[in-house]
Amino acid sequence: MTKKFWQYRVRQRILITVCLLAALSLFLLLGGGKAIPVGSWGLSFQQEGEAPIGTVSSDALSGYDAVYVGDTSEPVLYLTFDAGYENGYTMQILDVLAAHHAPAAFFLVGNYLETAPELVQRMVDEGHIVGNHTYHHKNMSEISDPDAFAAELKAVEDSYREITGQELPRYYRPPQGEYSPENLQMAKEMGYRTVFWSLAYVDWNTDDQPTKEEAFSKLIPRIHNGAVVLLHSTSATNAAILDELLTKWEDMGYRFESLDYLFGTP
């Protein structure tokens, strides 16, 4: 064998190794492995009535006690509401949930707890879960210091304890869906389960609310077994359509359960 031939074989093997490493990196980036990149939660809907593909796979999330969808063999829905402030619709939303015997989780920030404690107490009294949406609604993926991360969550815990006399249920939703593997691990070490979502729509812009028809065009065909539904309680549209929306989902054969049921917690 000539020296030139061996140099060619070495270059060939290096090229193959580089290609394999690139393919592996892409596989992990797309959630095919256990590695989780810093990112913003997103969904890709492939087929009507079926669960979407999340930015990170369920298997990868499970290592951090995190989920975005429940058991897709069971016609169960998990209702969750994010709230940065009270916009006058929560009482109506709670009335509808009570009428349908539908448990929900409300992920609240510090401002909500400080300004609407009576509604927080009503959520608890009526059997709903109050979750941790951080105190200041920051991009938590930019926080690498464990103490700073913990402070955001503990401030919510303290406010909740002052209002209810109880300990805050350990459910966490990253603001704006911004996450990092370090954040997910920090939350897990604090005893939290991170809850993303498998169905949402553009309902958060209070100055440009969707019509009833626009809302239903997203929320009806995309519903699926095990759906973790994200709605914003600041939305006038959500308050107006909620009773009809829950009725439609019930007519489709779905029932509502709490996050405790999703995680198998008594």
Catalytic residue numbers, as ranges: 82, 232
**Closest to 257 (Cα-Cα) out of 75, 66, 62:** 75
- For 140: left if phi > 0, alpha if psi spans -120 to 50, otherwise beta; the answer is alpha
How many Cβ atoms are within 10 Å of 9's Cβ, its own excluded?
10
**Following DSSP, what letter does each residue of 14-46 receive, concatenated?**
HHHHHHHHHHHHHHHHTTSSS---SEE--EE--
Say how many Å lie between the first and final Cα of the chain, rounded: 70
Tokens of 92: 């109506």
Place of tokens 């256990």: 34
Residues 203 and 212: their CA atoms lie apart, in Å, by 11
Is residue 239 within 8 A of residue 83, CB to CB? The reply is: no
Spell out the residues 6+ positions from residue 211 whose beta carbon is closer than 8 angstroms to its own. 237
Instruction: Report the distance separating Cα 204 and Cα 20, nearest Å.
Output: 42
DSSP SS3 for 171 = strand
Show the tokens assigned to 60. Answer: 């990868």
